[in-house]
């Protein structure tokens, strides 16, 4: 078992890659009352075209199948997963994102028992045609519920404006129509391809002895038959280097309009520290321009263009990237025009050194504070690990980031033909 120390953070991260390819990370937190574990596969909603394990040809599967599979893994032939966790005082959950599916639990005792339950239930699938058909009705209702949600429609509305064919534009749950062709056999095929240990990562954080926990995981995996598999060939559509729709409007039964501006990232196959550095730089730029302490934010607030729903986010992965800024407004046209004008000015903007350092130091402080939360570390760790970098690298990148780095990212990223506007307006 290897370990890496982060003296500045007073953290020691243990790591071992097992014979079957499973990557195990352990982060002991002496004195912490709560333990948290995540068992994650590098398989999300965008992975709808790939070569299944044991085959040689690319296959296109129905949109939403990764999310469908997440739901079905909780169903067992002879026991209830949630009851099993509850019997050992643990709370469990799962989620599917664009790029990963994560199963997790938190507990204050009986870590070994709960960790065994987590690993075993994820590694013992049970699907039948009858239960799959039943699940289609449940997920279809979930999809319809989100279709009536204005925030959800606005979020995917702006992403659809940015991307032409990339599956990131499709709801993670798929559509009512897309989930209909899903069968038990298809679920097993996706499961055996993406839930192989070599495509998964186990992360445990809490007050425990790392050697004892690693021994538990080693013995658990040694009792199961897995041969280490090769990397899964995946395929994503080629995207144009611009936003495919400059502006779109959707009318719904809402009282207050919503306006969002999106930016499409066109850099391909970015990984590791390069990817993380760009994401952090864009986040800092947004903080400088649109943060609650910025002059622009105060101006928009005074004009009544924005309210406390105004927000921004950046999502960078190796296969795609985008940023979104906006919120509710009584002046959709005015806010849309103002945001676009501001975004177009960023590429040539001269950033203030003192403001840059203030925002950077603020981010360092927030990150250090967040490290007191086992939930934060556990939920964020896998995302960064799958992109080839440790979560704790954030601090090093933040401290080394210069205002020159910021200027270069602003020039490369904030390009006018990659912008798009989405307005959600009340029905006339």
The span from the CA of 252 to the CA of 325, in Å, is 20
Name the nearest CA neighbour of 210 among 28, 422, 402: 28
- Residue among 5, 49, 70, 355 flagged as catalytic: 70
Q: With b meaning 16 or more CB within 10 Å and e meaning fewer, what string describes 394-420? A: bbebbeebebebbbebbeebbbeebbb
Q: Is 70 a catalytic residue?
A: yes
Question: Which residues, in sequence order, are CB contacts of 333 under 8 Å at separation 6+?
Answer: none
What does the DSSP 8-state code read for residue 198? G
Pair of tokens at residue 245: 């729709």
SS3 at position 423: strand
**267 within 8 A of 168, measured Cβ to Cβ:** no
Query: How far, rounded to the nearest angstrom, does the alpha carbon of residue 49 sit from its chain's CA centroid?
Result: 19
What does the DSSP 8-state code read for residue 75? B
The span from the CA of 345 to the CA of 330, in Å, is 24
The span from the CA of 54 to the CA of 193, in Å, is 8
The residues pairing with 38 across neighbouring beta strands, listed in sequence order, are 104, 203
The span from the CA of 36 to the CA of 202, in Å, is 11
**348 within 8 A of 412, measured Cβ to Cβ:** no
State the catalytic residues. Answer: 70
């Amino acid at each position: 078992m290897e370990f890496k120390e982060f003296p500045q953070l007073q953290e020691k991260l243990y790591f071992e890659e097992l014979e079957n390819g499973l990557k195990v990370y352990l982060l002991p937190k002496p004195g912490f009352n709560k333990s948290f574990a995540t068992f994650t596969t590098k398989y999300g909603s965008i992975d709808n075209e790939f070569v299944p394990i044991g085959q040689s040809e690319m296959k296109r599967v129905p949109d939403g199948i990764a999310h469908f599979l997440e739901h079905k893994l909780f169903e067992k032939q002879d026991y209830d997963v949630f009851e099993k966790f509850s019997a050992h005082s643990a709370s469990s959950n799962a989620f599917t994102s664009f790029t990963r599916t994560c199963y997790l639990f938190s507990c204050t005792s009986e870590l070994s028992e709960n960790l065994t339950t987590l690993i075993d239930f994820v590694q013992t699938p049970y699907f039948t045609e009858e239960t799959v058909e039943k699940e289609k009705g449940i997920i279809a209702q979930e999809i319809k519920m989100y279709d009536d949600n204005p925030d959800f429609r606005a979020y995917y509305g702006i992403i659809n404006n940015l991307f032409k064919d990339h599956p990131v534009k499709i709801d993670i749950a798929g559509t009512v129509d897309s989930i209909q062709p899903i069968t038990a056999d298809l679920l097993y095929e996706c499961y055996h391809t993406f839930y192989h240990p070599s495509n998964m990562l186990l992360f445990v954080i809490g007050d425990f002895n790392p050697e004892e926990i690693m021994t538990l995981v080693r013995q658990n995996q040694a009792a199961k038959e897995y041969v280490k598999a090769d990397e899964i060939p995946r395929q994503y559509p080629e995207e144009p280097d611009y936003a495919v729709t400059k502006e779109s409007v959707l009318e719904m039964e809402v009282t207050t309009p919503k306006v969002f501006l999106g930016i499409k990232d066109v850099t391909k196959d970015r990984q590791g520290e390069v990817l993380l550095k760009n994401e952090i730089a864009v986040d800092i730029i947004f903080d400088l321009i649109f943060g609650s302490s910025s002059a622009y934010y105060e101006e928009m607030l005074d004009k009544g263009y924005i309210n406390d729903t105004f927000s921004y986010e950046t999502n960078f992965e190796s296969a795609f990237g985008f940023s979104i800024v906006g919120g509710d407004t009584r002046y959709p046209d005015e806010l849309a025009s103002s945001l676009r004008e501001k975004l177009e000015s960023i590429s040539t903007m001269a950033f203030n050194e003192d403001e840059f350092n203030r925002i950077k130091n603020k981010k360092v402080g927030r990150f250090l504070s967040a490290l007191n939360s086992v939930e934060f570390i556990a939920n964020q760790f896998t995302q960064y690990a799958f992109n080839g970098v440790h979560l704790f690298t954030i601090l090093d990148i933040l401290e080394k980031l210069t205002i020159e780095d910021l200027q270069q990212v602003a020039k490369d990223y904030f390009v006018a033909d990659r912008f798009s506007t989405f307005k959600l307006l009340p029905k006339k």
